[in-house]
Structures are given as structure tokens and as C-alpha cells.
Structure 1
Amino acid sequence: MLHIYYGYGKGKTTCAVGIAMRAAGSDRKVLFSQFLKGNDSGERRSMELIPNITLTPCPDHVKFVRDMTDEEKLQCRQHCRNTFEYCAKEALVGKYNMVIFDEIFIAIENNMLSESELFDFLANAPKNIEIVLTGHNPSEKILKLADYCTEMRKVAHPYDRGISARKGIEF
């Protein structure tokens, strides 16, 4: 089934990590990929310790797209493409019971991936795997495919008061 967690509220990655942990604890194999994120998050360090979770590589540090140089955007785009292509291929061979694309909608929103590629993947993905997508702003076309769909809506966030992301809480 297809799970979508989206919006501008906190908790999308947390949901994806939670379902990955639940699946791994039930002896399912999980492939967890992250887009526009670095290796420096607490969730990655925790998931590395779980035998049934495989993480795709991330750069050591990733800037916000608005702060990237053209060269950094090009490198980031290539990393996103490589990660997506690898995960799509792995999903098709049936090695995993669950494939997670964390922040894929943000990669699409920033032209790092195309929505048509994601749509084609979803249309052709094996029916016996769980697919989890997160990010800000999925299209109605993608939302209509979801079996589970949760929108995270920000009511309050410390960032609005000038407080930066805190290690162990936001990453």
C-alpha cells in the first residue's frame, strides 16, 4: 500500500521512521532513503543499528536549496537521481517489503526529481510492498493514489520565533 505523510508541520520523517521501526521489528526488510538531508541526523544513527533497515547514503551535510550554489544544486540533483533510481530498482527485484522516500516531495518541488518519474514508479511498483512518501506539497495526482494519507499542519513551531533546528529534536 502507499502511505503519504505531507505538509508543513513537524512529524513527517518521524512517522516514516516509526513505520520503518515497526516493520523491521516484525521481521520485514526496509529500504530507507532520504532526499535533501545529510548524514548528521539522530534518526539515521538510530536506524543504522536496526538489522532489517537499510539506509541509502546521504552527503555528510546538505544546505537548504536556497543557499546552494549552482554547482551544489547540480551535485544534489545527481545524488537525488541516483538514490531514486537505486531504490526503484531495488523495489522491483523484491528484496524489500517496504521502501521509504523521505522528503521526496521536497526534491520534486526543487526540481531535483520529476513527479512523472515518481508517478511511473508508483504505477509499476510491486503490489506486495509498502511504499512511504514524505515531504511538503504532493500533487493531487499523487495524493489520489494513497491508501494512507496524513497531512501535518503546523500550528506552532519554534522556527517562527527564530529558534534554529535542534539536534535530537528536529534532526
Structure 2
Amino acid sequence: MRGLVHIYCGEGKGKTTTSIGLSVRAAGNGMKVIFTQFLKNNDSSELKILNSIENIDLIPCEESFGFFFNMTDEQKVEAKKVYSSLLTSVLKKSKEADYDMLVLDEIMAAYNYNLVDRDELIEFLKNKPEKLEVVMTGRNPDEKLIELADYVSNIQKIKHPYDKGIFARKGIEM
């Protein structure tokens, strides 16, 4: 089976949820999945269950820097080192360990804020292992990434509780 490239983007809720669903479906079919997140704090509920599923290798980011707009210039420099290293590591591992699916959750934000090596990601997508399915999530994907994708789904927000002051709830949004 030839692996394809997915982008799940937009302002709506469900981008990460979609990537998790694909991961679980793939693992349930005996496929080997590598899953990582960028710009998240590693304590989301989904990580607990993903970590317990056979065939899913969760590669956590060892440090959290919070929202980009709250970072100091020094934190942005440090975040770039950490996220670039994480990207390099998971891309290398996905090639060497014969994975079937790679999930890069919130890679669009890391890419757009220049917190990862953009050229490295582009080159990887152009030359990825033939069977590797790549799933990327986040808002505002770059046109270069869209061109390399086989699936691009825009999840549009029509209404969201946040607009009423209801913040992320445990087990639903986090």
C-alpha cells in the first residue's frame, strides 16, 4: 500500500481528534504508528490512552513553552532547538523503524512560527518512505505543504463554547 500525506487544518475543533482516530484505526489494523505533538504541554488525556495502545509509539516533547505569543525571545530560541530536535528525531525514527504512519500533531504552528526546520520537513515529505502515511495537523498550512498533501481537510468553526467564555474541559478538549 502506498502511503499518502494528510493535512487536517482550520479553526474548528477536531484536528487532533482526527489524527488520534486515524492512529487508533491504523494500530487496530496492525499498523505501526509513531505519534508526536508540537506546542502542547504533554498532559492531554489522549496521550495517556495512546501510550497504552500496542503499535503506537508516542514520542513526547520533553519541554513545554506555552503559547507562542507568551514566549520571550529567549524561550523562542530554546523552543526552536527543542522542536527542531523533536522533528529530526521522529522523521529519522519513522524511516529507520519501518513505521506505517507518522502523526505530527500541531506541526503547522511549529512550521509557521519557524520553530522547526521547514526545509527538513519539505524534503522529508518529498522523499518519505513509500508506504508511510503522514498525518499533519494545525492551522494555516503553508502552500508548499498543501501542494505535497494528498488529503487536505479544513475543519471550520461555526460555533464554539470558547466564544462564550467556556474554556477547555478535561476529557473533551484536553
For residue 117 of structure 1, report the CA deviation from its aligned partner.
Answer: 2.1
SS at match of 1:169: coil
Q: Distance in 1 between matches of 2:79 and 2:90?
A: 16
Cα deviation 1:1-22 (Å, max 9, x = unaligned):
1111011111000000000000
Who is 2:165 aligned against?
A: 162
Q: Count matched residues.
A: 171
**Residues 91 and 125, structure 1, Cα contact 8 Å, conserved in 2:** no
One-letter identity of the residue aligned with 1:133:
M
For residue 60 of structure 1, report the CA deviation from its aligned partner.
Answer: 6.1
**Residues 80 and 112, structure 1, Cα contact 8 Å, conserved in 2:** yes
Unaligned runs of 5+ in 1: none
SS at match of 2:148: coil
Q: Determine whether 1:54 maps to 2:57.
A: yes
RMSD: 1.4
Who is 2:109 aligned against?
A: 106
The normalised TM-score by structure 1 is 0.93
For residue 94 of structure 1, report the CA deviation from its aligned partner.
Answer: 4.4
Q: Determine whether 1:136 maps to 2:139.
A: yes
Who is 1:10 aligned against?
A: 13
Superposition map of 1:20-169 within 5 A: 20-59=23-62, 61-169=64-172
Q: Distance in 2 between matches of 1:157 and 1:62?
A: 25
Structure 1 residues 92 and 60, CA, compared in 2 at 3 Å: closer, same or farther? closer
Q: Distance in 1 between matches of 2:43 and 2:67?
A: 14
Q: Distance in 1 between matches of 2:8 and 2:104?
A: 11
Unaligned runs of 5+ in 2: none
The normalised TM-score by structure 2 is 0.92
**Residues 38 and 59, structure 1, Cα contact 8 Å, conserved in 2:** no
SS at match of 1:33: strand
**Residues 8 and 153, structure 1, Cα contact 8 Å, conserved in 2:** yes
Cα deviation 1:11-34 (Å, max 9, x = unaligned):
000000000000011111100010
% identity of equivalent residues: 45
**Residues 84 and 117, structure 2, Cα contact 8 Å, conserved in 1:** no
**Residues 104 and 137, structure 2, Cα contact 8 Å, conserved in 1:** yes
Q: Distance in 1 between matches of 2:79 and 2:154?
A: 26
